[in-house]
Amino acid sequence: MGERLFVTEIHVDVPYLDIRTAPDEHTTYRPGTLRAALARRVVSVTRNFGLVFAAWDLIATRDHRVLALELNPGGQWGFVPGHHHITTAIVDHLEHSIR
């Protein structure tokens, strides 16, 4: 959201087609971080598309590379535990942009 990044690592120990449908008992969520260079690229690409918000789907490979699967300008975040800080950032941005 703007310059603020909210990273959640999602780990699933069973096969799934859509992460949101993975069984809760096989899914763990935890706050994550991105390396500074990657974070700058995420913000830059988001801005270059003219967006202030984007939900990125990234995947870390076994050899520690990070691959971008998707940049979604209308992505979902409500299924992530503790998502209220994201919602608050969006509301803050909207409130400041209409003043």
Q: Render pLDDT for 38-56 as a digit per residue (tens, 0 to 9).
A: 999 999 999 999 999 999 9
Dump pLDDT digits (tens) for 1-40: 878 899 999 999 888 888 878 888 999 999 999 999 999 9
Ordered by start, the domain boundaries in the chain are 8-97
Burial 62-97 (b: 16+ CB within 10 A, else e): eeeeeeeeebeeeeebeebeeeeebeebeeeeeeee
Q: What whole-number distance in Å separates Cα of residue 67 and Cα of residue 61?
A: 8
29 in helix, strand or coil? strand
